Structure 1
Amino acid sequence: MFLAEDKMHRWWWEPMPPEERLALLDVLSDALFASEQWHGIEIDSSLLSYSGLNSTDVLDSYREQVFNDEEPLDVPSIVEKLGGALAGFETVPNAVGLGALIISMILEIVGKSLGKKTMGTAEMLQRVFAEEKGNEVRDLMDEYLKHLQINLGKPQLQLAETRQIELDLSAQLTRLKNSMLVDGHMNSMLLKQWVNGAAFHTQMLIHQARLEEADGSRAVRAAGVYQQQLNVIIDRYKKYLIGITHITILTTRDQSTTYILSFNEGPLSGYSAPWYALQYKSQFTDTQMVEHLFSKQQISWTTSYFTDLAANIPTLVRQHATFQIQN
């Protein structure tokens, strides 16, 4: 009894050791990021997979996954029957970046019909935009992907469509940015839509430079602008999260402590800390909780994504890999 009273007394003045404080912040952060309430602000995995320097390798690996079977497959016949826009092709030029992404989407149709595990590329827009109706950014991205399929193997037609649709997409991204920054409609869903749209638009400009055999300087400048805009949006997003993220500490007679992280885009269950946490006074605020969230990869990637992409663009625009339907 004396020991418990002593611990209760020390709780009011003894600071929590830094390592325990950090561990508690980690647990609360992980609880949020693993919850159904956190919808994420990340760039979609499929767009990321086909945005890097190894997009050709990713596509070739997926082709092998789709057509790998114990029995030899008549790949040309399968593609002719199920491959949609790939039907009639033996090779496809410029199968890098968005060119590789669209081939992956077509292969998904073939893979599903063969009972193979797919990459989920075809569901990219659904993951980013969910079931939202009347979204101009989504519709323009969808329209562009459709035209890439229609004009597969026809670089001049792809170039014409790219020049037209990228301008329309750019304008809609500006409207979405202003909705968050000027009109005050900040939330995780809109940020996720904007950052995926901006990444997609930059990839369109890379594809355009590749088709024009240009140096990609316009895409580099766009990536720089988007990084600057993202920095401003993320700063505003941090203030938004501080307003909707709260820590509540509950104590019980059996000397247990429950730390409850409330996230007002959706409730979270509490985290029950060990009883000895009562020895210490909790010394972090809602603001510090959000600062810790921003140190995690789920958010910290935003500080350099477009800068890193810009550094790769001169190499990306020089990639002109040809996709072989059958290896």
Structure 2
Amino acid sequence: MGNQACNPSPNTVDCLYDAASHAGLLPDLSLDASLASLLSLNSSRVVEQQYAALQSRLAPQQRAAFNRDLHTAFGGNAMVSYGGVGVVALAVSVLFEVLAHHQTTTSGHRGLERPPTPPDPIARMFGPNGRSEVGSIASEFLKQVPGAANDRDQMVALLESYEAKLRFELMDLYESMVFLERGALSSAGVKQWVNGAALHLHIFLHWKRLTDPAAAESFSLDYLRGVDPLVKTYSEYLHRTVRETPASGPGLSGLLVVEPLRNVSHEVRHRACESAAIQRALVERFLSDQDPQRGKDFFQSSQDRHDALMAQRGDLRLSIASH
């Protein structure tokens, strides 16, 4: 009876979950949806739809400047080689977003008014860097793709260089989280690994697509097999790190800790004996909100559709810049 009496109400758990959500503390380790769609057999359609949607939203003068900026970024070419395929499509999509934001803010915000914060697609996909350089390597690579896209030799050299950089960084990150020091494990690290692995796989595929189209090797199975041990280790980690104490009176706030240095004070009152059950309930909810299956499905699909992915060919035609 005593244990049952200390079970928290669902409303208490909901309030504490909301406190974590409002403070931006909800863990996020899922594969980014835009990254998954651009590294797929539908990539050409995805990037063409994005391009058309951006063009339609821009005013005529903004659209002309946007297209001029694009032509400059791609060396004056109206055609982007493999611009609708894999990592090139991803880099093109990132560039679209940044350039369109630039046009709408430079023309729409004058004087002393502070313009909106520019988009950071890399941070959205890979999260904060933390202890890993995966996000920085991804950013460096994607920024260089437009200048190399129409030069096969330059593109091959870029792919080969960043394939190696990202592979070693991902191996180091995975080992540090799963096999070595537990202090390296974090939600940010898991997110970086999942999304970095997806990017690395498609850097490798595009490198082989350009140099050895018949190549059968792939990192898909390695990454597929790596997901479950990582998620298991991460689940154990959350059970250790999520801690909660109740608010106990006026001016005496409670504290919810999700991960080291990631916490929020709250005003939710409950009996102290309920904290252990609340912690378990919050961990279960945090984990159920994640979608590790999306990452597993991505790597499985990349393995199953390897030949179709290697055979992809989709150049992107840019609109003629207005003068």
Tell me whether 1:57 sits opposite 2:45 in the alignment.
Answer: yes
* 1:307 pairs with one of 297, 300, 305: 300
Stretch moving more, 120-129 or 204-213: 120-129
2:147 aligns with 150
Q: Considering only CA atoms, is the larger Rg found in Structure 1 or Structure 2? A: 1
Assess, with a 3 A threshold, how the Cα gap between structure 1 residues 171 and 75 changes in structure 2: closer, same or farther: same
* 1:316 pairs with one of 309, 313, 316: 309
1:158-307 paired onto structure 2 within 5 Å: 158-181=155-178, 182-184=180-182, 185-212=184-211, 214-215=213-214, 217-219=216-218, 222-248=219-245, 262-265=257-260, 266-268=262-264, 270=266, 284=277, 286-287=279-280, 289-298=282-291, 301-302=294-295, 304-307=297-300
- Kindly tell me the number of residue pairs found equivalent between the two proteins: 302
Deviation at 1:62, TM superposition (A): 1.9
1:38 aligns with 26
Which whole-Å CA distance do the structure 2 matches of 1:29 and 1:309 have between them? 35
2:79 aligns with 91
The one-letter amino acid of 1:62's match is Q
Is 1:259–1:271's contact at 8 Å kept on the other side of the alignment? Answer: yes
Assess, with a 3 A threshold, how the Cα gap between structure 1 residues 69 and 38 changes in structure 2: closer, same or farther: closer
Assess, with a 3 A threshold, how the Cα gap between structure 1 residues 12 and 93 changes in structure 2: closer, same or farther: closer
Deviations 1:177-223, CA, capped at 9 Å, x for gaps:
2222212221112222222221110121222233246256323xx12
Tell me whether 1:112 sits opposite 2:101 in the alignment.
Answer: yes
Assess, with a 3 A threshold, how the Cα gap between structure 1 residues 157 and 208 changes in structure 2: closer, same or farther: same
Is 2:129–2:135's contact at 8 Å kept on the other side of the alignment? Answer: no
Stretch moving more, 186-195 or 263-272: 263-272
Q: Which runs of 5+ in 2 are unaligned?
A: 109-116
Is 1:166–1:201's contact at 8 Å kept on the other side of the alignment? Answer: yes
Which whole-Å CA distance do the structure 1 matches of 2:23 and 2:293 have between them? 19
Q: Identity across aligned pairs (percent)?
A: 22
Which whole-Å CA distance do the structure 1 matches of 2:58 and 2:202 have between them? 37
Deviation at 1:91, TM superposition (A): 1.4
Report the TM-score, using the length of structure 2 for normalisation.
0.74
1:126 aligns with 123
Q: Which runs of 5+ in 1 are unaligned?
A: 1-9, 253-257
Stretch moving more, 262-271 or 229-238: 262-271
CA RMSD of aligned residues (A): 4.0
Is 1:44–1:124's contact at 8 Å kept on the other side of the alignment? Answer: no
Tell me whether 1:100 sits opposite 2:89 in the alignment.
Answer: yes
Is 1:15–1:283's contact at 8 Å kept on the other side of the alignment? Answer: no
**Secondary structure, aligned partner of 2:217:** helix
